[in-house]
Amino acid sequence: MHDPAAPRPMIARAPARPLLGEARVPGDKSISHRALMFGALAVGTTEITGLLEGEDVLRTAAAMRALGAQVENLGGGRWRVAGRGIGGLVEPADVLDMGNSGTAARLLCGLLAGHPIFAVMTGDASLRKRPMRRVTEPLSATGARFATREGGRLPLAVEGAVDPLPLDYRVPVPSAQVKSALLLAGLCARGITRVVEPEATRDHTENMLRHFGAEVSVAPEGRGRVVELIGQPELVAAPVVVPGDPSSAAFPAVAATLVPGSEVVLRGVGMNKLRAGMFATLAEMGADITRIGERVEGGEKVADLRVRAAALRGIEVPAERAPSMIDEYPILAVAAAAASGTTRMRGLKELRVKESDRLSATAALLVANGVRVEVEGDDLVVHGAGGMPAGGGSVVTHMDHRIAMSALVLGLASRAPVRVDDAAFIETSFPGFASLLNGMVGNGGPGGPIGAA
């Protein structure tokens, strides 16, 4: 595990050759978290293939072990989870440390709320700054009790409900994490848990609930949806194939788009329509991305993506697209920096409560590298260079892996190298990020375009 006291500065420069070849990006982080959690709640043994083995997901695996599930790493992304059944988790002997993962922490709040056990959760310095009230307040209606630091922040103590009540809750701001936490709590409650979301967010939880045998209904309501779950089902172990993470695939896709002469194929990327907003946006900007061999694996749509270098143009990205690409705005901003014209990204309020104030951090990343940017309310406006941005800046990552990766991709497409103060946290979501991109330019070793500063 990374020692936050030992930062790992890195630098990226324009490669001498284009990006070529094919690669498989790490498994989808959202699905990996959920596969481990649902495996722990199921009866029987769940076999998982393609699990993301980044630090965030390993924290979830450790938490499931601490709660009584048998979790075994078989190697090569293959894992086995022997579950305890709904309501069968046991009280952990020690504090649950969720590292840098807000997804794991918020989902775990829901999972713990439905079990009559006491637990304490913490995280690293970044996660301890992030608000948990958005999940603890609605979850308190189940009968669970939460105690947090001021501002609803970690460390957090939870005393789960002995006889949890079902919830009927309208989510005020689109959030798959909040929705998922409420549904996890609803698994242990008698009756129907009902969650109304104002805009449709990623539906991996609903897909996986059905995959494990729960009864879930989804109905449209305006731009959003109403999700209903019948409580206290018997979840039955089922194999899970984790597709490549579309959020991770966005980084090599943008790199290949911006580095002249590049052509890469990214294998087995998840194409869930509620996660594919980034690729729709890149296509509108003129990117050359082709889906090959579209298929369904484990209830999720998957395709291989062929990406060729292309000139981009600025566009307006509507606010309603944000839930389908909320994690991709920093790397989209890098693409916009090299585009011709202005790109306006609307409705990015949710970015202010990510690992960092990601909206401000994204703007600062670009400004440090000679790109003209404005933040207007919750909108980000990027004035593209119509080619290679100036670069040459040093970026403060604020312990945010997506800011670090976005800055390094910008370095590949800039006239001068780009430095980041700490790239260690990239391993939380994209193990082997630098070596994958270096390998695409024919140099996977320390002499590649991305290396230690």
- CATH code for the domain defined by 10-23+244-452: 3.65.10.10
* pLDDT of residue 419 exceeding 50: yes
Contact 406, 433 (CB under 8 A): no
The residues, ordered by sequence, that sit 6+ positions from 377 with a Cβ below 8 Å of its Cβ are: none
Q: What does the H/E/C string look like for 178-194? A: HHHHHHHHHCCCCCEEE
Structure tokens given for 393? 């800046």
What confidence tens digit (pLDDT) does each residue in 396-409 have? Answer: 999 899 999 999 99
What confidence tens digit (pLDDT) does each residue in 58-91 have? Answer: 999 999 999 999 999 999 899 999 999 999 999 9
Domain extents in the chain = 10-23+244-452, 29-241
Of the residues 327, 357, 379, 421, only one is catalytic, namely 327
What is the chain's alpha carbon radius of gyration, rounded to the nearest angstrom? Answer: 21
Under the banding of pLDDT at 50, 70 and 90, the label for residue 22 is: very high
Q: What is the pTM of this model?
A: 0.85
Instruction: Let me know if the fold of 10-23+244-452 is the same as that of 29-241.
Output: yes
CATH of region 29-241, choose from 3.65.10.10, 3.40.50.1000, 3.40.630.30, 3.40.50.150: 3.65.10.10
pLDDT at 343: 98
Average pLDDT, the chain: 94
What confidence tens digit (pLDDT) does each residue in 307-350 have? Answer: 999 999 999 999 989 888 989 999 999 999 999 999 999 999 88
**Mean pLDDT along residues 132-141:** 97
* pLDDT of residue 1 exceeding 50: no
Give the closest residue to 61 by CA, choosing from 93, 97, 25: 97
* pLDDT of residue 4 exceeding 60: no
What's the CA gap between 279 and 277, in Å, rounded? 6
**Mean pLDDT along residues 159-166:** 98
Under the banding of pLDDT at 50, 70 and 90, the label for residue 287 is: very high
- Indicate if 3 belongs to the active site: no
